[in-house]
Amino acid sequence: MAAKLVSLWHSMQSVQIRLICYLLLVMLPLMGVSLYAIRQSQALLIRQTSDSVYAALSASMAYIDVIMRSIENISILIASDKEMNDMLSKKESVGNEIFTQLRIMNKVGGISSVNDFISDISIFQKQTGTLVSSSRTGVRQVDLLGEDWYWRAYNLRGISLLVNPRDTPDRFKKVDYLFNKDNILLVRAMGLNRAGYDPNLVSVAIRRQILLESLEQLLEDTDSDVYLLSDTNEMLTSSGTAFSRSWLSDPRRSFLTRSPDGKQQVFVSKVTSASSSWSIVLVQPKSSLYHASKQIQEFIILIIVISVLLAFLISWILYRRITSPLKILSYGMHQIRKGFYNVKLKKDRNDEFGFLMDSFNQMAEQQSHLIRDIYEHQIQRAKTDLKFLQSQINPHFLYNTLDSIYWAARNYEADEISEMVLNLSKFFRLSLTKGKDTFTLEESVAHLQYYMRIQQLRLLDKFAYDVQMAEETKQLPIVKLILQPIVENAIFHGLEKRKDNGGKLTIVCAIEDRRLAVMVKDNGVGMSRERLQYIQRRIASIKEGFTFVNDDANPDMYGIRNVKARLLLYYGNQADLRYESTETEGTVVTVFIPIDRTIQT
């Protein structure tokens, strides 16, 4: 977590990131107000919808109450009709009984025909077990005495009972025009004007579809549903099936909740009749409520998105026009501080920043010329000092002295000493050659062989050496003494430390990718990974233009660093010095010199 915070803090240091943050900060109040306005408009819409829907539900509930009171009055009128009650209570012959039933059928038929909500009015006569209907079905034999709702209606003593059939049982197949899922039955005992109540019933069938059609005017879209429930919360009619009983226990008259399947939010509104205790529940998807304001919300969100995009665009323009040139100048200053005086900034503008970049390029070029002059002066002075020191040595005196030692050793039959002195004489003769800084690779390797033979004699032939030189490399000129420090390190730090006499030093010369590659390989003790990485870092730190002046902080590895510095001085950046080593297995050092630069040298 801490690492992430640090990374975020570093990213905030970018000028472009900060510009974007500042612009977004300026727009933050606008975005906040816009989002707050959207939220408030949604809340206001919910309140307004709640009020308007409640008013519409109340009006529909009042309409349903009027209809049900009308049907209730019709039921009371029939149940209290003296003539009809007398006809039902008389015991008559079969012929008179049929005539009586026809009179009852005509009478209730005339009543049901004036009310569209009533599908049928039927009179049940207990003593004959017949059901007289106002419809064309006429008289049917049916047994209602075994029905619980029959006796409950009888025991209510003239108070109506609502029967809500969901299907038509087999026992009511003969009267399925009455007892079916499309009707709601309002049942009442007959004989309200008589001292005792006869067990005869009047049943008024109310069409569910007519009730539903009167409620569907509340639906503003096809995704909304309306439900009509009785005083006992029985579903009387509905336009849908996604209903939750838990909505009825909520004390609020309207609220947002999840649909029973949990897939969407719905807005539930309900109203309950004070007289009948019936309820109407209207369920609307939340999305349909916000449909009217959706376009405005989308427009506000579009403005916010455009504002954010403009913030990015403006910050990018400011970055390109102001901070980007400053960053380029900062990069140039860092390069100058690192010593890369050949840096040149691209100038593509004519304003104040263009003037600054042009001035910087002129300054860098002047500094480069000045430092180059000083560096070349130091090199010339060093060469002059070296030639002066070399001139102080009398080569003839040295050669004559070594020659005298050589013949004295021969006289005393000290063959090893004489051979060592002979090789030493040849080694110095080549090293002290005046006026010549380069030799062919063949001459340089021959010079190395003198040195290697001296070390063989010193170490009592503890190692052997092998030279493999490609024919095309022999006449290539290289700087004098460029390989000697590498061979010296291979012997002193690798082969000499071996415990046995199986040491081997191999020199391989070849041409690879237009470069002369000279590999010095030994099977000495090698070096640890840490030591190898240290040497590689020290070598890599030497760049073109390196000088040993004021470089006394780490004076070790002077010979190898001198080789790398001379390679860069004479052959440029294409020249290289590579170290590879494995502990207990040996070390491989490879010198790469571009062929075209050897000819120029």
CB 117 within 8 A of CB 214: no
Query: CA–CA separation, 474 vs 440, rounded Å?
Result: 7
Closest CA to 204 of 221, 219, 190, 220: 190
CB 202 within 8 A of CB 190: yes
pLDDT tens per residue, range 113-133: 667 788 788 888 887 788 888
Helix/strand/coil for 242: coil
The pLDDT value given to residue 166: 81
CB 601 within 8 A of CB 571: yes
The pLDDT value given to residue 544: 67
Alpha helices in 240-290 (DSSP H): 246-249, 286-289
Closest CA to 225 of 244, 252, 251, 206: 244
Residue carrying the six token digits 């807005």? 267
Range in 79-93, 381-395, 522-536 with the lowest mean pLDDT:
381-395
CB 478 within 8 A of CB 571: no
The pLDDT value given to residue 365: 76
Res 154 pLDDT > 70: yes
Terminal Cα distance for the chain, rounded: 58
Res 390 pLDDT > 50: no
φ, ψ for residue 583, nearest 5 deg? -60, 135
State the span(s) of the chain assigned CATH 3.30.565.10: 436-600
248: pLDDT confidence band, cut at 50, 70 and 90?
confident
Between strands 503-512 and 463-469, the pairing is parallel
The pLDDT value given to residue 466: 94
Tokens of residue 312, six digits: 């990015």
Own/partner pairs, 551-554, CB within 8 angstroms, 24+ separation: none
The pLDDT value given to residue 152: 87
DSSP 201-218: EEEEEEEHHHHHHHHGGG
Q: Which residues, other chains included, contact 198 with Cβ-Cβ below 8 Å and sequence gap of 6+?
A: 85, 88, 89, 126, 189, 190, 191
Q: Which residues, other chains included, contact 268 with Cβ-Cβ below 8 Å and sequence gap of 6+?
A: 247, 250, 254, 255, 256, 257, 281, 282, 283
pLDDT tens per residue, range 283-311: 888 777 666 566 667 777 787 788 778 77
CB 242 within 8 A of CB 282: no
Highest mean pLDDT among 94-98, 437-441, 461-465: 461-465
Helix/strand/coil for 517: strand
DSSP 413: T
CB 447 within 8 A of CB 487: no
Res 520 pLDDT > 50: yes
Helix/strand/coil for 342: coil
% pLDDT > 70, the chain: 73
The pLDDT value given to residue 581: 93
Tokens of residue 120, six digits: 């049928």
Q: Which residues, other chains included, contact 531 with Cβ-Cβ below 8 Å and sequence gap of 6+?
A: 581
pLDDT tens per residue, range 186-237: 888 887 656 656 678 888 888 888 888 888 888 877 788 999 998 888 888 8
The pLDDT value given to residue 380: 66
State the span(s) of the chain assigned CATH 3.30.450.20: 80-210
The pLDDT value given to residue 363: 79
Query: CA–CA separation, 250 vs 283, rounded Å?
Result: 14
pLDDT tens per residue, range 322-340: 766 777 777 778 777 777 7
Compute and round to an integer the Cα radius of gyration of the chain: 57
Res 454 pLDDT > 70: yes
In terms of Cβ atoms closer than 10 Å to its own Cβ (0-12, 13-18, 19+), residue 281 is buried
In residues, how long is the chain? 601
Res 384 pLDDT > 80: no
Report the mean per-residue pLDDT for the chain: 78
Tokens of residue 550, six digits: 């004021």
* Helix-strand-coil split of the chain, %, nearest 5: 55, 20, 30
389: pLDDT confidence band, cut at 50, 70 and 90?
very low
Say which CATH topology domain 436-600 has. Answer: Heat Shock Protein 90 (3.30.565)
The pLDDT value given to residue 415: 60
388: pLDDT confidence band, cut at 50, 70 and 90?
very low
Q: At what angle do helices 15-79 and 208-215 cross, to 10 degrees?
A: 140
Is domain 80-210 in CATH 3.30.450.20, yes or no?
yes
Distance of CA 279 to the CA centre of its chain: 50
422: pLDDT confidence band, cut at 50, 70 and 90?
low
User: Tell me, what amino acid is at 59?
Assistant: A
Res 477 pLDDT > 70: yes
397: pLDDT confidence band, cut at 50, 70 and 90?
very low
Q: Of residues 357 and 38, which shows the higher confidence score?
A: 357
Strand order in the sheet with 201-207: 139-141, 130-133, 118-125, 201-207, 183-189, 161-163
The pLDDT value given to residue 472: 93
Range in 1-5, 157-161, 165-169, 230-234 with the lowest mean pLDDT:
1-5
